[in-house]
Structure 1
């Protein structure tokens, strides 16, 4: 009876200890969460991660979900769009009680965040799905208006103007002046996109006036961008430049590098007299943005890894403390044996965890070194090469420089997607050509290839292959920038010791007198370097045809 009573006392003390521990952990989780809300960027992300782990300890699924959604929003705001979507999806799995007001609001924010990330990734179909889901959970007028505006923007991007207009009209019902201005500006833009004869200027100016009166810098920036695009479309370059410069001024005030880059891109195109000054500023800013986005994915992974390590250490310390607190209660021999047995099992488990952790750390370090080397070899060397050419050329060919920078960007994007260089080197040249042409295929452009088989390129020198690869890329880049084509085709054929490439598209074509101003002068130079010939057929009714021929050896 005495032993039984002691056993009940042990159970009671253990239960009290566990309840006290849960209360303490709840307080810790709340403290971390509140601290994160006062911070921003990496710091906020760090404390939301700590809060998530603390909520996991007390099995508070709502707290875990809210912490993860806030982490996802920070990732999205810093350019880690894929990571932001993944973290939002992880957070949604913990937000199960949809009848809870806070849970519903958090789910709305989560789906909206995934919609924004998808829009930045040009995945507008998924963006529409996410914004539609967000509206199901929206309760406050501000949230409803925000999600309707976002949904409308995505629909405009897919040219579904009627559906977009319906959302903007609903958003106009808001009592908030700034939300009303945004909806009005968007509605006018959608109507003009659907009908070029429609005059959107009264709405554009009304929205701008509201934003200026309320000192809404972000909204002003949007209005200036819209007006600049409108006047550029109307071929009024003077007005387009005026609003682009206003956009640049406001984006500098609110320190928005993305908006500054957009404004500078417009100004570089419109202000020919001051082109070098603005282009240099754009180049520096764009490089900074690309580097920041490249770092975003790894930076948040490192923060999460660091927090997990500290959390594991805290768990170990808690376990040791619990052992010391309960040691006096283990006075009977059988209980002591059981305790030692448990400790032995824990030690074995921890040794295994430490070994697995060390292996994971080594794997992460090797991956980071590999990526670092790729960034140095591909991106840094590529940019340095372009800078050297610009520095040493008396005449600065901006189109050629932009094309080369875009090639470096394409390579850096390959690294971000973790494509293996080794696998690329093992591919036949015909596969490389097919992949290059296929990479320009998207929702608005279809690409077709005929005759590009492995035998076509037999005995063709590597240098010639490299030049042909660059020529095809330059043709595709020129098509995307200037032609507005929806269909592009390449036909390859080999006649004895000569290879012929026939290119055609259904774009606006290129007049003969401006042919070499569209980034194709280097194409002609490359053809001459391999003793080939190129013929531009600019007299066809629509589109462009180019015939290229060159000797095999």
Structure 2
């Protein structure tokens, strides 16, 4: 029944938010209006996708209220689809765009905190959930919503077995003069349940049946489902036959309202109460339904993550296209100017060439020193850090494998002193080698998503370039583990017009403005330059790091 409470409040919030959406021009942000149509048709994935796209449009227009509304509704959809961690993350992100001092934001803040309380409660963090519900009450001007939030707080106290506090809240709600019959039946059911859980000799049957009669009269199917569940629980020890009767009624009603979660709870009661010969049938249904619920939840989590990733990817590609168009225009202008200055430039070219040759001679001397130090950094330091990362995050440690890698690093470090640099030879395809390298940095708190790492991608990339790319990726992930505090990392590979594109993005703390690049990032830039590539770092403190690498393959 907690889900239903959130659903009813969400409907009210959607209705109010859609009025605001009608004030927004379809030309300015068509995704926002379209998202409501999909939600009304119960097409949750399309609604989530369009709200995600609307969020990006609002960000481009610097409309913080529009961004907040989009994120709040996206979090509600994730909560309804049982993606509780995703709902928490999205709802907390929405708070960055809302002001606790602006009355126009109070309604959105209230609904967002209510959703946070629901998702957090489902994850078992009851004290935090109570805090979020209290915040929802603070920003709500709707007495009906306030009573629902109080009811949810009382349910959490019940779960914590703090029955006196839960009972006190229920009693205060029941005294409200404007309580409608459906809400009265819901609170009365919860009150009676809390009383018999608190006092073993308390008889809740008159109140439970009175609430059930109200729900039947009001045709409140979800409410009847709740009543049958509470009656079955109460009779479980004192009258198993009555308990079995109400459990069967609840199971039938849960199927009628299409609530898999309540069906599973009813089946657990039926397995416990039925004769032994009836248990296998119920158990098989219970197991099948439980598995399907878990699969649906996992699919929802992955689906929402992929939607947000695709929206981010499309935005990045659009920005790159704009950049390419601007570069083409600038190139044409520059070409015209070049022809005009070609004569005078010939003399300057001769002088510059002479200076460049002298500079190259000096750089070769420096490069010979940098080459050795870079080998030590890449082969020894990063190799040891990778082994440390695997030991830290893997429960079953491959002792022999780790010893083999340490021995390999020993031989490589010895070869450095003789300047015997060798290109690594592996028996597995290079794309699999890249996958193994990247996934070795994943841990309990870091998720790494890899896209586009196909065998065909690497066929046109030279072996020496492949090794440089491997060292660059390793350096980026070592820096991520050491400094970024990121939880999610996305690395995407693609081939565009014979240019290899590597897109790196994490949600860590980013690079502080005042921070100087360490030896690792400087070495990374030098490596890309040496293979005629281009690397761009984009970061704002607290908003993660983005890295774009472009390497020609011809």
TM-score (structure 1 length as normaliser): 0.53
Structure 1 equivalent of residue 62 of structure 2: 59
Distance in 2 separating the partners of 1:223 and 1:265: 17
Within 1, Cα distance between the matches of 2:183 and 2:333? 64
The 5-angstrom pairing of residues 277-288 of structure 1 reads 277-288=281-292
* Separation in structure 1 between the aligned mates of residue 113 and residue 307 of structure 2, nearest angstrom: 24
Query: Offset of 1:324 from its aligned partner?
Result: 10
- The aligned counterpart of 1:510 is none
Matched residue, 1:149: 151
- Partner in structure 1 of residue 183 of structure 2: 179
Deviation at 1:216, TM superposition (A): 1.5
Contact 1:28 1:54 in 2 (8 A): no
Please give the secondary structure, in 1, of the residue aligned with 2:88: helix
Shift of 1:167: 2.2
Checking the alignment, whether the CA contact within 8 Å between 2:250 and 2:266 is kept in structure 1 is yes
Query: In structure 1, what is the Cα distance between the partners aligned to 2:398 and 2:251?
Result: 41
**Preserved contact between residue 145 and residue 179 of structure 1 (Cα < 8 Å):** no
**Alpha-carbon distance in 2 for matches of 1:424, 1:238:** 56
- Cα drift, residue 310 of structure 1: 2.2
Counterpart-to-counterpart distance in 2, 1:231 and 1:281: 24
Residue 233 of structure 2 corresponds to 229
1:13-52 correspondence to structure 2 within 5 Å: 26-38=28-40, 39-52=42-55
2: CA distance between counterparts of 1:425 and 1:218?
Answer: 56
SS at match of 2:28: helix
The 8 Å contact of residues 29 and 57 in structure 2, kept in 1 or not, is answered as: no
Rounded to whole Å, the distance in 2 between the matches of 1:149 and 1:423 is 49
Q: Report the Cα offset of residue 128 of structure 1.
A: 1.2
Deviations for 1:37-68, whole angstroms, at most 9, x for unmatched residues?
43442122111111111111111111111111
State the secondary structure of the residue aligned to 1:43.
Answer: helix
Alignment equivalent of 2:194, drawn from 184, 190, 193: 190
2:180 is aligned with 1:203: no
Cα distance in 1 between the residues matched to 2:398 and 2:298 = 22
Tell me, what secondary structure is at the counterpart of 1:249? helix
Q: Report the 3-state secondary structure (helix = DSSP H, G, I; strand = E; otherwise coil) of the residue aligned with 2:207.
A: helix
What is the root-mean-square deviation of aligned Cα atoms in Å? 3.4
Q: Deviations over 1:415-438 (max 9, x none)?
A: xxx974435999xxxxxxxxxxxx
1:197–1:31 Cα change, 3 Å: same
Deviations 1:171-191 (Å, cap 9, x if unpaired)? 332433222211111111112
TM-superposition CA deviations, 1:329-368 (whole Å, max 9, x none): 99x979xx9xxxxxxxxxxxxxxxxxxxxxxxxxxxxxxx
- In structure 1, distance between residues paired with 2:326 and 2:143: 49
Rounded Cα–Cα distance in structure 1 between residues aligned with 2:38 and 2:70:
9
Counterpart of 2:279? 275
CA pair 297-420 structure 1, distance change in 2 beyond 3 A: farther
Q: Cα distance 1:423–1:81, how it changes in 2: closer, same or farther (>3 A)? A: farther
After superposition, the Cα gap between the structure-2 partners of 1:325 and 1:214, relative to the gap in structure 1 and judged at 3 Å, is farther
Do structure 1's residue 307 and structure 2's residue 285 form an aligned pair? no
Q: In the alignment, what sits opposite 1:126? A: 128
**Structure 2 length normalisation: TM-score?**
0.53
- Alpha-carbon distance in structure 1 between the residues aligned to 2:331 and 2:99: 39
Q: Does 1:70 align with 2:73?
A: yes
Per-residue Cα deviation, 1:226-256 (whole angstroms, up to 9, x for no partner)? 11111114x2111111111111111101111
Determine if contact 2:52/2:308 at 8 Å carries over to the other structure: yes
Of 211, 216, 221, 1:217 maps to: 221
Residues 441-456 of structure 1: matches in 2 within 5 Å?
none
Shift of residue 25 of structure 1?
A: 6.5
Query: Given that residues 150 and 169 in structure 2 are in contact (C-alpha distance below 8 angstroms), is that contact kept between their aligned partners in structure 1?
Result: yes
Q: Once the 2 structures are TM-superposed, how far is the Cα of residue 271 of structure 1 from its aligned partner?
A: 0.8
Structural mapping, 1:80-91, within 5 Å: 80-91=83-94
Distance 1:301 1:278, change over 3 A: same
Describe how 1:342-357 pairs up with structure 2 within 5 A. Answer: none
> C-alpha offsets along residues 90-140 of structure 1, whole Å, 9 cap, x if unaligned?
111111254334x21221122111211222222211111111111111211
Instruction: Name which of 130, 133, 139 aligns with 2:141.
Output: 139
* Secondary structure class of the residue paired with 1:122: coil
Q: 1:159 aligns with which of 153, 158, 161?
A: 161
Hey, what's the Cα distance between the residues in 1 that align with 2:319 and 2:198?
A: 60
Structure-2 change in CA distance of 1:137 and 1:422 (3 Å):
same
SS at structure 1 position matched to 2:161: coil
Confirm or deny: 8 A CA contact 1:66 1:106 kept in the other structure.
yes
Q: How does 1:301-450 map to 2 (within 5 A)?
A: 301-316=305-320, 420-423=394-397
Alignment partners' CA distance in 2, 1:185 and 1:424 = 56
Quote the Cα distance in structure 1 between the aligned partners of 2:69 and 2:309: 19
5+ residue gaps in structure 1? 1-21, 338-417, 427-553
Contact 2:185 2:211 in 1 (8 A): yes
